[in-house]
């Protein structure tokens, strides 16, 4: 079918709110992409509610707001729904009071996870954040050993790669199948592409999922997953976007645009 944006000129119907990924959509390596600030300002001018759903584990919510502000993009902290925030809510409802071993390459995310008790020495649940240097051989071996002993594992997201100024980097989703196979148990994914993540974000925006537009650069985790949750999906040709991935995928995005700068035109209106 190829790249649908070449033939798809229709506007999404009945959209009352917008949900946006950050990495690869609004900014790359925390440098705002061209047209991002103007596009978001136009959404605000039109009175279109928005929220940001991100798998970023390299920054806390407060740091995300600060970095975007430095690039001229004003975002309120309560508009940002991170994988850490979602995971905190999940742990408190599903494993209340459990001691958690958080494995994350990046920021100290504990400030975004109030109410969670952290104990790497004697954990009752393992929490996998973003992949990187923390995902070393001995650490992952211990995770498998804990899984074999019955300790549940929760992943903040299932993203396979993320985009940086220096190219793509593999992420947590690449490790999960191997850990599940060696550990003999499934791993619960809380953030994207979990349907729960999109439904939680819809509550933040205050819009029914069927009237919410998701904009992302990851075909599977951002767009197709959102569509399966009832949202309208829009893929941007920035960040981790690769045309070959779209071409071979049996599932296609509802819409494709060149960048976030084209979002106001896609939504139509004035």
Q: What is the pLDDT of residues 90-116, one digit of tens each?
A: 999 999 999 999 999 988 999 999 999
pLDDT at 7: 34
Using alpha carbons, list the distances in angstroms from residue 155 to 88, 148, 182, 219, 237.
11, 17, 16, 20, 27
Q: Buried (b) or exposed (e) across 210-241, using 16+ Cβ within 10 A?
A: ebbbbbbbbbbbbbbbbbebebbbbbbbbbbb
| Cα separation, 194 vs 189, whole angstroms | 6
**What is the Cα–Cα distance from 138 to 172, expressed in whole angstroms?**
16
Per-residue pLDDT of the chain (270 residues; tens, 9 = 90+): 344 444 344 667 789 999 999 999 999 888 899 999 999 999 999 999 999 999 889 899 999 999 999 989 999 999 999 999 999 999 999 999 999 999 999 889 999 999 999 999 999 999 999 999 999 999 999 999 999 999 999 999 998 887 777 888 899 999 999 999 999 999 999 989 899 899 989 998 999 999 999 999 999 999 999 999 999 999 999 999 999 999 999 999 999 999 999 999 999 865
- Please name each of the domains of the chain with its CATH number: 4-55+193-267 (3.40.50.1000), 95-189 (3.40.50.1000)
Terminal CA-CA length for the chain: 32
Is this model's pTM higher than 0.85 or not?
no
pLDDT of residue 5: 42
| Residue pLDDT, tens place only, 6-28 | 434 466 778 999 999 999 999 98
| Per-residue model confidence (pLDDT) at position 6 | 41
Q: Count the Cβ atoms, other than its own, within 10 Å of residue 97.
A: 10
Place of tokens 């309120």: 76
Q: Which residues contact 89 (CB under 8 A, 6 or more apart)?
A: 200
Q: Give the pLDDT of residue 269.
A: 65
Give the long-range contacts of residues 235-243, CB within 8 A, separation 24 or more: 235/5, 236/24, 236/25, 236/260, 237/5, 238/24, 238/25, 238/28, 238/33, 239/23, 239/24, 239/25, 239/28, 239/163, 240/24, 240/161, 240/162, 240/163, 240/168, 241/24, 241/217, 243/3
Q: Is 66 exposed, middle or buried (0-12, 13-18, 19+ CB in 10 A)?
A: middle
Rounded to whole angstroms, the Cα distance separating 28 from 22 reads 8
Nearest residue to 63 (alpha-carbon basis) of 115, 106, 24: 106
What pLDDT sits at residue 3?
47
Lay out the sheet containing 50-54: strands in order across.
80-82, 50-54, 17-20, 212-216, 232-236, 255-257
| Structure-block tokens of residue 27 | 């900014």
């Amino acid at each position: 079918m190829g790249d649908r944006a070449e033939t798809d000129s229709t506007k999404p119907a009945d959209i009352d709110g917008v949900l946006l990924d950050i990495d690869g959509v609004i900014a790359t390596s925390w440098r705002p992409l061209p047209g991002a600030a103007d596009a978001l300002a136009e959404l605000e001018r039109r009175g279109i509610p928005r929220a940001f759903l991100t798998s970023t584990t390299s920054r806390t919510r407060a740091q995300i707001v600060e970095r975007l502000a430095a690039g001229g993009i004003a975002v309120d902290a309560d508009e940002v729904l991170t994988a850490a925030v979602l995971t905190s809510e999940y742990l408190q409802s599903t494993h209340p009071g459990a001691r958690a071993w958080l494995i994350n390459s990046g920021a100290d995310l504990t400030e975004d996870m109030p109410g969670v008790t952290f104990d790497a020495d004697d954990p009752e649940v393992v929490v996998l954040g973003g992949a990187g240097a923390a995902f070393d051989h001995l650490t992952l071996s211990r995770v498998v050993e804990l899984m074999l002993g019955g300790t549940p594992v929760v992943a903040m997201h299932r993203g396979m790669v993320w985009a940086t100024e220096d190219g793509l980097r593999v992420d947590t989703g690449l490790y999960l199948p191997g850990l599940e196979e060696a550990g003999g148990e499934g791993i619960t994914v809380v953030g994207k592409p979990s349907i729960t993540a999109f439904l939680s974000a819809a509550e933040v925006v205050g819009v029914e999922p069927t009237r919410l537009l998701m904009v992302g650069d990851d075909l599977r985790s951002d767009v197709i997953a959102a569509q399966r949750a009832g949202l309208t999906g829009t893929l941007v040709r920035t960040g981790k976007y690769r045309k070959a991935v779209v071409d071979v995928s049996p599932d296609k995005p509802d819409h494709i645009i060149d960048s976030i700068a084209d979002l106001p035109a896609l939504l139509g209106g004035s």
